[in-house]
Chain A
Amino acid sequence: MNPTPSQTVGPFFGYALPFPRGGEIAAGAGALTVHGHVFDGAGQPIPDALLEFWQADPAGGRGGAPGTLRRDPVNGAILGRHGLDFTGFGRVPTDADGHWTLRTRPPGGRPYIAVAVFARGLLHHLYTRIYLRGDVADPLLDRLTPERRRTLVATEERPGVLRFDIRIQGDEEHEETVFLDFS
């Protein structure tokens, strides 16, 4: 069947799509923090982007679990994950500085967190991956030049804190992030 075309998320998703603790896939002991900026082709941070994350659980399970939003039946408020199930899904809007933060546990199996990038001005979302380490054999990484490969690997700032910037468009000084085709 012919697909429905994509359209930009626009500037006004902020009161509809983000939810409390959307970037806290997992918290507590053993959780790590991944954070960074989203930049445009002029090197400017993008304050109206939305990132979504999908990953396997620490044992490598890819089934996810419902309950990322988990609602209060009394008033409809979003309570969020209860912390027992690993839902595997996170959603974070960038702040006024174009910055985002994710807290999660490392996935089992393939060593990456899948990312979908949405933004005002971006007509169709983009997929990329956060590889938590670069010293791995991987069917995607192994096909990239070193410069391109580096854009997919998070850098450790200190134990438990990783940095991962996303450049929707490269500029003279910065390599564009590798984006993926799953069609």
Chain B
Amino acid sequence: MINALSIEHVSKSYVLEGASRPVLKDVSFQVRHNEIVAIVGASGCGKSTLLRLIVGLDDAYRGSIIRGGPDGSASAKVGMVFQDHRLYPWLTVESNIGLAFDNTNLSASARRQRVRYYLDLVGLGDYARAYPRQLSGGMAQRAAIARALAQEPDILLMDEPFGALDSILRMRLQDELLTIWERNRVSIVIVTHDVEEALYLADRVLVMEPNPGRIRDVFEVGLPRPRDRGGFVLSDLKKRCLSTLV
């Protein structure tokens, strides 16, 4: 199996006031191993819903979603980062990250070691014993990313992970994410409303449109990393991307 993720003809609708309202209509795309795919679109185009379907929080849909494992096995591990960090406020940062190993047979010392590794990876080594409310927004989001990565997922889903952060911090975390992605072989599907972010991070950008949510266009970003945020190719792509969106 060459794809980490295959979405085939996925449709979903909600029933609202007796009428069925389509949120997703015939969405199909593939994510290759180690690929970063970004999904952009206006709010209400079903991009968050799509992630919820992929991670399994919602299984009322038509079509098929196949999460392919790295060696052809059909059970890939899927990790998820939400827009809000969703750390458990009553657990320290290290215990929050430790939750990722709850469903594994790892020994206590191996767990401690990995928690430490992922804490250092996101630069929170000194905050192991802190509670979430003692962290800034960016630190909490990094802890959430560490928690998702600690599951060692084959596919990492990110739902506007930097949406609530200021633009400078956002750029820094984008670079951190790319560094982490290069070190850990993982496929990433990132939902964002920020076209620049999508083009900077992704190999491919899917543009979705609402009513009902469907894929309108796909842009290949064939640029090597690290990319120049102000470069000509990205600006041109951004122009074309925005023209399909607006």
- State whether these chains interact: no
Residues of B whose CB lies within 8 Å of any CB of A are none
